[in-house]
Amino acid sequence: MTVGIIGLGLIGGSLAKAYKAQGAQIYGFDQDASAMALATADAAIDGTLTSETISVCDLLFIALYPHAAIVWLEEMAPWIRKDAVVIDACGVKQEVCKAGMALAQRYGFLFVGGHPMAGTHRSGYAFSRADLFTGAWMIIIPPVFDDMALFVRIKALLEPMKLGHIKICTAKTHDEMIAYTSQMPHIVSNAFVKSPYYDNHEGFSGGSFRDFTRVAELNAHMWSELCLYNREVLMEELSRLKAHLEDYRAALEARDQETLEKLFREGSEQKTGKKQGK
């Protein structure tokens, strides 16, 4: 199999290493010359992905930010082979899939929306590794949902990633769920560390603090772009969280232990799925 990868950061670099480890020929490109140099030195790529080498790729991964992914597709679609499969790895799906599927229909290749649920708070090729996706979930947005042969084909193409699970859904469902499970935690954690107490937490913090603040360290450009692409859903989630926080604040202001205990119990039960005794 010949694989092309545009973007050799954490995700793209890890894809290159995972597929290379399974014997694929890899063409890659990143506008960062150091990433290209490292990938070449690691033998993670066999050559540069260009308009010429795109034409020999069976599978193409787009590991770019959403806007850049759309622009790249618009520019390079004419050179993609008609029997090739193109999968993006963007953290938002509606706008990317809309553009990708329209171009696929126009030029004859197959576009599939994808989002590997794997990564770290570190970014860049230097942190990439071949086993990043091992056992992980991969979300897939296919162009149609009633073609079993297509699902089998996609699963076979993704085998070198050694995924644990593949979840198929619509682009809308993806963006709604990711707003809650990924984008919101990054926003809340990033806001939380802006407290004046943060700089003096040593000796007063434990596991809960470490867990809660882990994703406060992030790639600001990437996350701002992802959040803006999912703006409407995120604003709804932020309003919902704000309303819940106001409930806790009101109980504290009123010195109302009964209500505060009820709020804590409700959250705990939502997390565990178990009803607690009073």
pLDDT value at position 122? Answer: 77
Residue 91 domain boundaries: 2-169
**Residues 185, 157: contact at Cβ < 8 Å?**
no
pLDDT value at position 276? Answer: 66
pLDDT digits (tens, 9 = 90+) for 171-227: 999 999 999 999 999 999 999 999 999 999 999 999 999 999 999 999 999 999 999
d(CA 265, CA 252): 15
Q: Are residues 160 and 179 in the same domain?
A: no
d(CA 19, CA 161): 7
pLDDT value at position 107? Answer: 97
Cα–Cα distances (Å) from 133 to 84, 143, 223, 230, 238, in that order, read 22, 23, 21, 24, 30
Q: Are residues 225 and 165 in the same domain?
A: no
Q: Are residues 103 and 182 in the same domain?
A: no
> Is the residue at 278 inside a domain?
no
Q: Are residues 184 and 144 in the same domain?
A: no
Q: Are residues 153 and 218 in the same domain?
A: no
pLDDT value at position 278? Answer: 46
Q: Minimal CA–CA distance to 49: which of 95, 84, 100?
A: 84
Q: Which residue has the tokens 């707003």?
A: 179
Last residue of one domain, picked from the residues 151, 169, 187 = 169
Q: Are residues 164 and 92 in the same domain?
A: yes
Query: Which residues, given as ranges, of the chain have pLDDT below 50?
Result: 278
Q: What is the CATH number of the domain that holds 132?
A: 3.40.50.720
**Residues 5, 28: contact at Cβ < 8 Å?**
yes
> Is the residue at 277 inside a domain?
no
Q: Are residues 39 and 102 in the same domain?
A: yes
Q: What is the pTM of this model?
A: 0.91
Sheet order of strands, 25-29 included:
47-48, 25-29, 2-6, 59-62, 85-88, 110-117, 137-141, 165-168
Listed as own residue / partner, the contacts of 179-182 with beta carbons closer than 8 Å and 24 or more positions apart are 179/230, 179/233, 179/234, 179/236, 179/237, 180/237, 182/91
Q: What is the CATH number of the domain that holds 179?
A: 1.10.3660.10
Q: Are residues 115 and 178 in the same domain?
A: no
Residues 6+ apart with CB under 8 A from 21: 130, 160
Intra-chain end-to-end CA distance of the chain, in Å: 60
Q: How many domains does the chain have?
A: 2
Q: Are residues 216 and 232 in the same domain?
A: yes
Q: Are residues 133 and 23 in the same domain?
A: yes
Q: Are residues 30 and 124 in the same domain?
A: yes
